[in-house]
Structures are given as C-alpha cells and as structure tokens.
Chain A
C-alpha cells in the first residue's frame, strides 16, 4: 500500500502560459534559449502549436490493448479528461488574431514556429517583423493563461 495518494490534476493551461512567458523572455535574450533546460519550453510550445494547427488535441493516455478494465468492478460515472485543451485553444485563437490579424493560422503558426526554431538552433533568423509578431503572440498567450 502506498503511503500517500494524490489526486492528479491537469495543469496544461498554466504550464503552457509559463512556457509562453519563458520563450517570450528568450526573444529578449536569445542566449538563454540555448542553455540547458530551455529546450523544454521550446519543444512544448512547438508541439502545442502543431496541435492547434492540425486541430488535433486528442492525447488521452490509453492503456495497453489487453489491459484489464476492472473486471467484476461495478462502474461509476466519472468526468473525462477530454476537454483539457479548451482554454489553451481559446487563448491561442485570441492571441493569434491580435498578433497576426486576418492571416490564416496555416500561415501564422509556421512563422511563430520558425522563431522558436531560430531560438533553439541559432540558425535561419526570421525577419524582425516575424519576431515582433511572435513576441506579441507569446506575451498575449502568457497573459491569458497565467
């Protein structure tokens, strides 16, 4: 028997906000983006942008194909975890609209991602305008989620 049981709560939205804040600060000091540990916010934001771009937020953890589902246990009604992304999705839509205006997300997101890629690799510097828009997007996203 475990000595403590803790209820796990999803904090994806606040974590996303924190990542946006950190990456926004990297734009002011790009050398910070290449320090150990900085890969975590950069990789995460890139991934969430991919999910938003393809509207693919389903990522519930599934048990193995043969894992038993409590045979002989009586069922109980429980809330699911399938709406974890709604706040992030709304915040992204709003920040994208403010930072990129009417530019379709299929064009706007690659611009933000190119900025993240430059921060991570120090290669392929995006234009000043793209960096400025990415910075606005990240600041708005961070403000909305934290």
Chain B
C-alpha cells in the first residue's frame, strides 16, 4: 500500500512534467518564462516540505496536498490563457493601468510590476481580477489573474466594469491599503448611514426601506438573520471594500465604468433591491456612482457644439433614468462622496496612467464623428491637402464615445458599436507606436 507521502511525491513529479510540457516554452504574447520560474520555485518548495516530514505527519502532508492542488490549478489556468478568447487590445491597455497601480516593493525589486495572466471563461458573471493573497502561502511572486467572460469576447464597452476589479487589486497592495483606509475612515465612513455596521443595519431594517427589501429581510429572519446579527451573515468589511472599488472603477475608467456597471448590475437585479453578503444593494451602488460622476464633472463638458451636447445628454439621461428615486438608496451625502472621490483621485494621479481624465470637446467631436460614419474612433484623420494626422487618444475615451453612441445607435447594433471600439483600441495602439519619439 502506497502511503500519502508516496502519492504526494509522485504528484510533485507529475506536476513537474506538466510544467515542463506546458510552460517551459514560449507561447502567447508575453512568453511564459517568468511564470515557469515562479511555478517551478513553488513546486520545489512544496516538494522540499513533503520530503522533510515523516510519512506519519498527516497534518503537514495535508497542507502540502492542498498546496499542490492550488499549484496544479494555477498552471492549468496559465496554460488556458494562451487560448486568447478575449479582446487582446483591451487587455494590453488594462495591463498598463493594473501595472501602474499594483507595482509593489518585493524582496528582490523595489518596484516590481505584477505578473499578469488573462483568460476567458463562461458568461456574464465571470468578470474578475484575482490577486493572490498577501498572507503567508506557497506563492513567491504574486500573480494577478484577469478573467473575461468568454461569451463577451467582442463587447469591449462592458469590459470597463473591470475598473471595479482594479480596485480590489489596489486594496491588496499594503501601501495603498493604508492610504485608502485612511481616506475611507476620514471621509466616507466617519458619520452618517454607514458610519458603523450597526448604523448600516439600522438603515437596512428602517421603516422607509422599499417593500422588496423588507420582504427579503423577513425571509432571512426565518433563518435566524436579524438586525442585530445581520453583519455576522453579511461582511461589513466586504461591503466597505466593494463601495471603495466602485469609486476606484469610476476614477480609473470614467463614464464607461458607470455605464457598464449600471447596465450589468441591473441586468442581474432589475429592481436594484437584492441584498448580498458582500455587496450593498445595486440601487445604492448605482445612485452613489451617478452622484459621484456628476460631482466630478464627468457628465458636464461645457460643450458648445449642439450636436455633441445632445448626444452626451442623451447618454447621461439614459443612465440617470436608472437612478432609484427613493431617498433610502442615498447612503452618502454629496460632501462625503466628493471628498472621498477627490482624495482617491489624488492618489491615482501619482500612479499614471491609472486616473481617468475627461476628453476635450474636440476629441469627443472627432471620435463621435468617426463612429457615426461607421469608422473605428481613433486619433487619425486626413486633411484636405491629404496630410495624415495622428494623435494620441486614451482608450477610455474610445470607450466613452462608444457608450455615447450606444445611447442612440442610429442604425448600428450594440454589438457593431462594440466591435468598432474594439478595432479602434487596436488601431490606436499602432498610432501610438507611430507617435513614439
């Protein structure tokens, strides 16, 4: 009879063979050498751990077996990232934002950009950026995994929702976490409805809550969840983090994030009243995001061109129609939202190019004009004297213009607008290369 230790040692050899077969040789755009080395280091450490304990030490062998499972899952996910069923141009732009935010001091490097791998999976609910835990583990260098829904390969406008996930990745960086926690404690959670978890529970169970909320809480009550223990079921820390990530999404991706989040969240929860363990109700999230966008001036450009002004207004009117009219959904004051947003923006501005800035009217007019003519909206034009003009355009402005167009499709479909914007981001990368000194 083979012992557990025999099996685990065999599995180490198996995993080493898998590693050699899958990650040793270059594939994909970025190659896999750094992933290979990291996984190899992890495997050697786990194998050493197994060989150092006696066959009878079942507790430590079990820990190593779980570590092996995690490593085999990671190798398999990295291998799948070579399939590439997602928008490559968008990923390249997203990586630049993620690297700016998630660069950390490590034992070998004072400024190490994260190792990032990307893959697609399933449908709508798969959007995610997973960071490996900071706590002690068998991981050396941390790997950032970005997941796109396979079904949404060509829908770059919706990908803006990953701004929220960038927020989680930022929160996981120790240095940023300290600064962000200070901002939240000073500006967002110091007073009012969400000052403490007790205050939040009082608000949730208040008499003026919508009937749908009351009905859910009543059903929860049958399982023993009450106002007094609500945040033993739900996580107050998670609620706070999710709110922070919504604001970081807005500040990194701008209006396209608001549009993606409102569209996608309400597609799951049409009334905006669903209560989650990890998230406050969708209606609250939509309301504070729309308010924050307004307070940041993202919905007002002081536009002089009536045609552009009308298109932008149509877009924002459509989003504002999602606003929940009941004041119960407004959990923060304007001052709280404004001070928090400005403080986070100040932090992001030290991490270029992560902070979103609004396009000029000239840019908007140029990009929207191209999209109206069924042309990918990029920083390129031909003058009347046939001179070719190239200019740098932020990919988030392309996404914003795509959303503006989506509010009044004018004969195009939503998918076609997405495809044009996806092509635009790719073409803009070529233009940017041309513009490099």
Contacts and interface: CB of A to CB of B under 8 A. Distances in A.
Interface of A: 6, 8, 10-13, 15-16, 19, 36-37, 39-48, 50-51, 53-69, 71, 74-78, 80, 82, 84-85, 88, 113, 116-117, 120-121
B147 A64 contact: yes
Given A37-B45, A43-B141, A75-B233, A51 B134 contact: yes
Contacts, number: 163
B233 A76 contact: yes
Nearest to A80: B235
Nearest to B105: A50
Contact of B278 (A6, A62, A121): A62
B318 interface: no
Given A43-B107, A54-B178, A64 B63 contact: no
A10 B147 CA distance: 25
Nearest to A68: B125
Contact of B237 (A40, A46, A58, A120): A58
Interface in B229-273: 229, 232-233, 235, 237-238, 241-242, 245, 261, 264-265, 268
A69 B403 CA distance: 28
Interface residues of B, number: 67
Interface of B: 40-42, 44-45, 47-48, 62-63, 66, 104-108, 124-128, 130, 133-142, 147, 161, 164-165, 168, 171-172, 174-175, 177-178, 181, 219-220, 222-225, 229, 232-233, 235, 237-238, 241-242, 245, 261, 264-265, 268, 274, 276-279
Q: 10 smallest A-B Cβ distances: which pairs?
A: A64-B128, A37-B44, A56-B177, A46-B107, A54-B178, A40-B45, A15-B136, A56-B174, A59-B134, A37-B45
A75 B225 contact: yes
15 contacts: A6-B66, A12-B137, A40-B41, A40-B45, A43-B108, A43-B140, A47-B106, A54-B175, A54-B177, A56-B174, A64-B125, A75-B220, A75-B223, A77-B225, A88-B136
Contacts of B44: 36-37
B181 A12 contact: no
A77 B45 contact: no
B66 to A, nearest CB: 7
Contacts of A66: 124-127, 161, 264-265, 268
Most buried by B among A62, A64, A78: A62
B125 A67 contact: yes
A137 to B, nearest CB: 16
B385 to A, nearest CB: 48
A19 B41 contact: no
B268 A68 contact: yes
A61 B237 CA distance: 12
Given A44-B137, A66-B161, A121-B108, A60 B237 contact: yes
A67 B130 contact: no
Contacts of A19: 136
A66 to B, nearest CB: 5
Given A50-B104, A51-B135, A75-B277, 7 more contacts: A39-B108, A43-B139, A58-B241, A62-B241, A74-B220, A74-B222, A80-B235
A8 B66 contact: yes
Given A50-B175, A55-B178, A43 B106 contact: yes
Given A15-B137, A40-B140, A53 B174 contact: yes
B137 to A, nearest CB: 7
Given A19-B136, A48-B136, A65 B165 contact: yes
Contacts of B171: 58
Contacts of A117: 107-108
A13 B63 CA distance: 13
B223 A54 contact: no
Contacts of B277: 69, 75
A42 B128 contact: no
Nearest to A44: B136
